[in-house]
């Protein structure tokens, strides 16, 4: 075993302070010396670090960061350095399974695919393709999503296709559409290299994107360190590094951000010229935030006036500003409205587009961006506008299908609605790929009931048995990263090629090949009778996608597998005009809001009502950005006598998703072996709970049990990590945070509200017999909220 650092105890590694640029540091961890290295990128967060896979005798034996890559300059985080071990896990799925007499039993690919095709045909005959739904991922490659998108939208013609990106990044896309007309990250990671101010809103970047955090730590360790403002109700690693940390009560982001906007305007720190030339809607914003004095903000959010003023002072004096936004906004009350208010801070200060000024509406997953670009979620391919018939006609020409095949009569069905239709019985077949909704969706008791209903035919395509495969009728064994080739685009628009390094185990197949096989067996045809899907491999799919992206914001036409091989990843748009890609969008200050070009005509931030094409045209946006104001609205469920505490959920540095991969790395598992309930000392004392006690958390939906941790959270709020399900639960107790979460979502982005619900907590038992309470308390009392017990500080 060789490693450049123990990333479990030394999460971010030694500082390499900025000089004129971010120094290179190559991180590596191998269990044996590889006989060769294969170019890839990391799939364990949305950062998408360039990495090489080390191979020995046809097996993955380790990884190293790619020094040439612009995203990470050689660095890797703990998940990237360890997560590859899942590829070699002995419990990989190696053959298809079909449920027979209630039991999943081995089957051949022919048997499994024939069954799927037979059921598809029968359902279409009886109920139309509107009875078939797809629920995919932020984990596949772009080529796979695009193929799925074509099959669903141009082959079957079903509007019911979404990804688990609905749970993680739907609000990023929605906020960009609302403010700038289209999805597409405006800024670049390179803005962090020179900015003087950084604002993290609901983004525990230190745990979520460890490598991007290294970049910030290195700026902070170098000359002219940027100031740091963090908005988060918990004392996260990120918050602990902040110059100003605002801890709002969960659900009050809009109130807090309106308060910051109020103070920025009151200080006269707005860019009048920019606002007049390049935006629409400032007056309404000014009027909306006028009543949000620090005093009122303090009443609603619990953030002391002095803290709010301190944060505003930093924003007011910023000459350059990078903001990052993630789940603390996206999965919380008024998600899109709040994310848009961060855009507004940049717009009224005129701090966009220029180097050092970036808004990073972050993603949660490595390929979430591709789900959105390809239309494998609730979007149309190439950021096309479902409400614009010309955009749909363009797709129909590209695919050579009748325009009416492509569902465009209303927005594509979002995931939560897909599950609702399944619950009601109008969706009869649900094909789930590379995701585990039986742990990751809100209100798990309901999700299990839906997936377990005998009338719903459930296909699950995964690399492992999961909580979701327990409810499947057919399980398809999938090849994963390292076992297949494809491209992926990170949260910063950087496209990477990730090559096949080893063969998949047993009969497991690449998701692309599974989709292609389905298309062939279903015999989807274009208008001229030729096969609808005209490619047979990943590179063919990529070439087809390039044509689909031509002329759209996410233009890939200048990219190729050859161009993406050997050097750094490349930021789209990459085309004739920008042959080497481009770090900033809208450098001419012309945003994507032209009616003929925009991805969306916009929605009402409070209700989600769509604007019509004519209403949108009447606004005459002409390339100006929208400043959309939002009034604060209280969350739907607030603590009461029966359920007196807030529950909020989130992630840990050592795990990703539902631990399907990270749970199969011994070191990551040991670093964070179990769920926990984090609670403030005052609440714990009142409830007679000590560190290490097993506690039960109950909501109106369900119940979960986990040991208590005390501290690093505001009073009245408890936290649970969302990673832990049942597949490796040591004692079979329910410990998934989503047993408790609310079945509701943002009206605009349709992203579920994981970040708040009302719960009650009580002590179940002392720590297990034989365990010393002092040791248990030590183990459960973190130096920082998600630190390992043995963290060196």
Chain positions contacting another protein, by CB under 8 A: 127-128, 130-131, 159, 409-411, 413, 416-417, 420-421, 423-427, 604, 606-611, 633, 636, 743-745, 747
First-to-last C-alpha distance (Å) of the chain: 25
Report the residue number, 48 or 437, with the smaller CB distance to another protein.
437
Report the residue number, 610 or 662, with the smaller CB distance to another protein.
610
Question: What is the C-alpha to C-alpha distance for residues 261 and 259, in angstroms, rounded to an integer?
Answer: 5
509 Cβ contact list (under 8 Å, min separation 6)? 109, 476, 477, 478, 479, 517
Nearest distance from residue 612's CB to another protein, in Å?
9
Q: What sign has the CA pseudo-torsion 194, 195, 196, 202? A: negative
Q: Is 648 helix (H, G, I), strand (E, B) or coil?
A: strand
Report the residue number, 429 or 434, with the smaller CB distance to another protein.
429
Report the residue number, 385 or 582, with the smaller CB distance to another protein.
385
Nearest distance from residue 201's CB to another protein, in Å?
23
Nearest distance from residue 446's CB to another protein, in Å?
9
Question: What is the C-alpha to C-alpha distance for residues 505 and 60, in angstroms, rounded to an integer?
Answer: 12
Report the residue number, 68 or 611, with the smaller CB distance to another protein.
611
Nearest distance from residue 159's CB to another protein, in Å?
7
Burial status of residue 220 (CB atoms within 10 A of its CB: 0-12, 13-18, 19 or more): middle
Question: What is the C-alpha to C-alpha distance for residues 117 and 287, in angstroms, rounded to an integer?
Answer: 57
Q: Report the largest interatomic distance among the alpha carbons of the chain, rounded to a whole angstrom.
A: 74
Report the residue number, 442 or 477, with the smaller CB distance to another protein.
442
Q: How far is CA 387 from CA 332, 370, 394, 410, 611, in A?
A: 27, 21, 13, 7, 10
Nearest distance from residue 634's CB to another protein, in Å?
10
Closest residue by Cα to residue 482 from 11, 9, 157, 43: 43
Nearest distance from residue 407's CB to another protein, in Å?
8
Strand bridging mode 474-477 / 457-462: parallel
Query: Is the bond preceding residue 497 a cis peptide, omega within 30 degrees?
Result: no
Nearest distance from residue 744's CB to another protein, in Å?
5
Nearest distance from residue 594's CB to another protein, in Å?
22
Q: What number of helices (H) and strands (E) belong to the chain? A: 27, 28
Contact present, 784 and 236 (Cβ < 8 Å): yes
Q: Is 284 helix (H, G, I), strand (E, B) or coil?
A: helix
Report the residue number, 17 or 608, with the smaller CB distance to another protein.
608
Question: What is the C-alpha to C-alpha distance for residues 432 and 358, in angstroms, rounded to an integer?
Answer: 35
Contact present, 586 and 180 (Cβ < 8 Å): yes
Question: What is the C-alpha to C-alpha distance for residues 375 and 153, in angstroms, rounded to an integer?
Answer: 9
Nearest distance from residue 425's CB to another protein, in Å?
7
Question: What is the C-alpha to C-alpha distance for residues 509 and 499, in angstroms, rounded to an integer?
Answer: 15
Task: Order the strands of the 570-571 sheet from edge to edge.
Answer: 486-489, 494-498, 570-571
Nearest distance from residue 449's CB to another protein, in Å?
12
Q: Which residues pair with 384 in a beta bridge?
A: 380
Strand bridging mode 429-433 / 457-462: parallel
Report the residue number, 157 or 492, with the smaller CB distance to another protein.
157
Report the residue number, 69 or 178, with the smaller CB distance to another protein.
178
Report the residue number, 266 or 611, with the smaller CB distance to another protein.
611
Strand ranges (E), 275-349: 279-280, 322-325
Report the residue number, 224 or 424, with the smaller CB distance to another protein.
424
Report the residue number, 124 or 186, with the smaller CB distance to another protein.
124
Nearest distance from residue 155's CB to another protein, in Å?
17
Nearest distance from residue 122's CB to another protein, in Å?
14
Strand bridging mode 474-477 / 97-100: antiparallel
Report the residue number, 49 or 740, with the smaller CB distance to another protein.
740
Nearest distance from residue 396's CB to another protein, in Å?
19
Nearest distance from residue 405's CB to another protein, in Å?
14
Burial status of residue 192 (CB atoms within 10 A of its CB: 0-12, 13-18, 19 or more): buried
Contact present, 744 and 699 (Cβ < 8 Å): no
Q: How far is CA 306 from CA 7, 249, 309, in A?
A: 37, 16, 5
Nearest distance from residue 750's CB to another protein, in Å?
8
Contact present, 435 and 137 (Cβ < 8 Å): yes
- Any alpha helices (H) in 563-678, and if so which ranges? 613-618, 666-671
Strand bridging mode 103-106 / 645-650: unpaired
Report the residue number, 20 or 607, with the smaller CB distance to another protein.
607
Closest residue by Cα to residue 558 from 547, 566, 434: 547
Question: What is the C-alpha to C-alpha distance for residues 387 and 613, in angstroms, rounded to an integer?
Answer: 7
Nearest distance from residue 157's CB to another protein, in Å?
11
Contact present, 496 and 487 (Cβ < 8 Å): yes
Report the residue number, 196 or 606, with the smaller CB distance to another protein.
606
Report the residue number, 60 or 405, with the smaller CB distance to another protein.
405
Nearest distance from residue 434's CB to another protein, in Å?
25
Report the residue number, 429 or 465, with the smaller CB distance to another protein.
429
Contact present, 535 and 517 (Cβ < 8 Å): no
Question: What is the C-alpha to C-alpha distance for residues 343 and 625, in angstroms, rounded to an integer?
Answer: 10
Report the residue number, 250 or 672, with the smaller CB distance to another protein.
250
Nearest distance from residue 777's CB to another protein, in Å?
39
């Amino acid at each position: 075993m060789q490693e450049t650092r123990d990333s479990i105890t030394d999460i971010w590694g030694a500082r390499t302070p900025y000089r004129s640029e971010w120094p290179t540091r190559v991180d590596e961890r191998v269990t044996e010396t590889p006989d060769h290295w294969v170019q890839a990128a990391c799939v364990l967060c949305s950062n998408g670090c360039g990495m090489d896979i080390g191979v020995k005798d046809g097996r993955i034996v380790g990884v190293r960061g790619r020094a040439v890559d612009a995203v990470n300059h050689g660095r890797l985080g703990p998940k990237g350095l360890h997560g590859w071990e899942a590829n070699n896990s002995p419990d990989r799925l190696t053959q298809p399974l079909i449920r027979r007499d209630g039991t999943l039993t081995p089957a051949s690919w022919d048997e499994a695919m024939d069954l799927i095709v037979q059921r598809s045909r029968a359902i279409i005959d009886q109920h139309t393709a509107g009875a078939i739904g797809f629920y995919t991922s932020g984990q596949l490659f772009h080529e796979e999503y695009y193929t799925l998108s074509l099959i669903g939208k141009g082959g079957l013609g079903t509007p019911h296709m979404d990804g688990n990106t609905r749970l993680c990044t739907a609000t990023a896309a929605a906020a960009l559409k609302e403010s700038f007309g289209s999805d597409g990250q405006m800024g670049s990671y390179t803005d962090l290299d020179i900015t003087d101010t950084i604002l993290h809103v609901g983004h525990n970047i230190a745990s979520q994107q460890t490598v991007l955090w290294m970049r910030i730590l290195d700026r902070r360790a170098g000359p002219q360190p940027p100031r740091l403002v963090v908005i988060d109700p918990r004392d996260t690693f990120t918050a602990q590094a902040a110059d100003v940390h605002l801890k709002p009560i969960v659900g009050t982001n809009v109130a807090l951000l309106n308060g910051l906007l109020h103070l920025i305007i009151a200080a006269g720190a707005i860019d009048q010229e920019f606002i007049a030339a390049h935006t629409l809607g400032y007056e309404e914003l000014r009027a909306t935030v006028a009543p949000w004095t620090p005093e009122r903000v303090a009443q609603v959010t619990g953030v002391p006036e002095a803290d709010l003023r301190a944060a505003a002072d930093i924003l007011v004096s910023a000459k350059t500003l990078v903001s990052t936004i993630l789940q603390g906004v996206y999965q919380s009350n008024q998600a899109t409205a709040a994310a848009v208010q961060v855009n507004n801070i940049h717009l009224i200060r005129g701090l966009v587009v220029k180097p050092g000024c970036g808004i990073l509406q972050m993603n949660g997953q490595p390929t979430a961006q591709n789900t959105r670009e390809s239309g494998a979620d609730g979007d149309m391919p190439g950021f096309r506008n479902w409400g614009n018939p010309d955009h749909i006609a363009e797709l129909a020409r590209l695919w050579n299908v009748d325009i009416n095949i492509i569902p465009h009569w209303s927005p594509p069905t979002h995931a939560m609605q897909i599950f609702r239709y399944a619950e009601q019985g109008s969706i009869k077949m649900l094909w789930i790929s590379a995701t585990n909704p039986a742990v990751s969706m809100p209100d798990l008791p309901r999700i299990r009931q839906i997936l377990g209903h005998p009338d719903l035919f459930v296909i699950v395509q995964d690399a492992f048995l999961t909580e979701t495969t327990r409810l499947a009728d057919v399980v398809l064994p999938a090849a994963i990263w390292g076992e297949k080739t494809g491209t992926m685009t990170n949260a910063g628009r950087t496209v990477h090629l990730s090559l096949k390094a080893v063969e998949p185990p047993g009969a497991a197949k690449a998701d692309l090949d599974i989709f292609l096989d389905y298309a062939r067996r279903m015999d989807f045809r274009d208008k001229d009778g030729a096969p609808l899907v005209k490619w047979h491999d990943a590179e063919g799919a990529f070439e087809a996608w390039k044509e689909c992206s031509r002329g759209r914001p996410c233009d890939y036409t200048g990219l190729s597998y050859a161009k993406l091989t050997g050097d750094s990843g490349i930021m789209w748009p990459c085309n004739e005009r920008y042959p080497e890609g481009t770090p900033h969008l809208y450098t001419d200050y012309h945003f994507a809001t032209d009616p003929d070009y925009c991805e969306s005509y916009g929605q009402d931030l409070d209700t989600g009502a769509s604007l019509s094409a004519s209403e949108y045209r009447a606004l005459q946006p002409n390339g100006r950005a929208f400043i959309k104001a939002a009034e604060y609205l209280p969350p739907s469920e607030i603590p009461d006598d029966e359920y007196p505490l807030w529950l909020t959920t989130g992630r840990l540095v050592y795990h990703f998703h539902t631990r399907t991969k990270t749970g199969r790395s011994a070191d990551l598992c040991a670093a964070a072996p179990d769920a926990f309930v984090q609670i403030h000392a005052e609440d714990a004392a009142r409830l007679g709970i000590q560190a290490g006690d097993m506690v039960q958390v109950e909501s109106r939906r369900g119940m979960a049990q986990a040991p208590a941790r005390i501290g690093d959270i505001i009073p009245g709020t408890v936290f649970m990590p969302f990673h832990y399900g049942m597949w490796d639960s040591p004692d079979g107790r329910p410990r998934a945070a989503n047993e408790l979460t609310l079945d509701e979502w943002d009206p605009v982005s349709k992203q579920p509200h994981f970040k708040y619900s009302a719960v009650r907590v009580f002590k179940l038992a002392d720590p297990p017999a034989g365990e010393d309470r002092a040791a248990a308390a030590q183990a459960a009392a973190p130096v920082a909220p998600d630190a390992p017990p043995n963290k060196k500080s």
